[in-house]
């Protein structure tokens, strides 16, 4: 099973700042089958990025994904008030074993 480790656990930033979230895999994720989700309190997760770098429908271009192999990054170029949330990465390259990272909370500084 591929283990995904997200860092940092919590990121304290101000609106307008740049956020860089890391997701590291214990083994190479084939074909960059990695996705990022955003979850706000009391809500279901929302798909942001799939295939490591493709934005999902309706996702603003301030969100971008990059990386390959074992190291992946989600970048939010300028934080908006609605971006403060928890972010999860997920790999689906080793299907049928799907795994999520433990999450990174982006909080207001």
List residues near other proteins by CB under 8 A.
33, 35, 37, 39, 43-47, 50-51, 56-57, 88, 90, 92, 95-103
Tell me whether residue 14 or residue 95 sits nearer to other proteins (CB atom).
Answer: 95
Residue 36, both tokens? 């990022």
Nearest CB to other proteins, comparing residues 18 and 31: 31
CB of 51 to other proteins, least distance (A): 8
- Identity of the residue, 24 or 103, whose beta carbon is nearer to other proteins in the bound complex: 103
d(CA 57, CA 109) in angstroms, rounded, equals: 29
- Return d(Cα 39, Cα 88) in angstroms, integer: 8
Cβ neighbourhood burial of 80 (10 Å; 0-12, 13-18, 19+): exposed
**Least distance from other proteins to the Cβ atom of residue 3, Å:** 12
Neighbours of 62 (CB within 10 A): 14
Question: Closest separation between CB of residue 50 and other proteins, Å?
Answer: 4
Between residues 13 and 98, which has the closer beta carbon with respect to other proteins? 98
Min dist. Cβ of residue 15 to other proteins (A): 25
**CA–CA dist 23, 25 (Å, integer):** 7
């Amino acid at each position: 099973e591929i283990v995904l480790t997200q860092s940092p656990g919590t990121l304290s930033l101000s609106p307008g700042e740049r956020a860089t979230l890391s997701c590291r895999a214990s083994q190479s994720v084939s074909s960059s089958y990695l996705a990022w989700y955003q979850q706000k309190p009391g809500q279901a997760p929302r798909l942001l990025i799939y295939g490591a770098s493709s934005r999902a429908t309706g996702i603003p271009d301030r969100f971008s994904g990059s990386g390959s192999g074992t190291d992946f990054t989600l970048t939010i170029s300028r934080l908006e008030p609605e971006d403060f949330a928890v972010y999860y990465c997920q790999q689906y390259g080793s299907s049928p074993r799907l795994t999520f990272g433990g999450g990174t909370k982006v909080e207001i500084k």
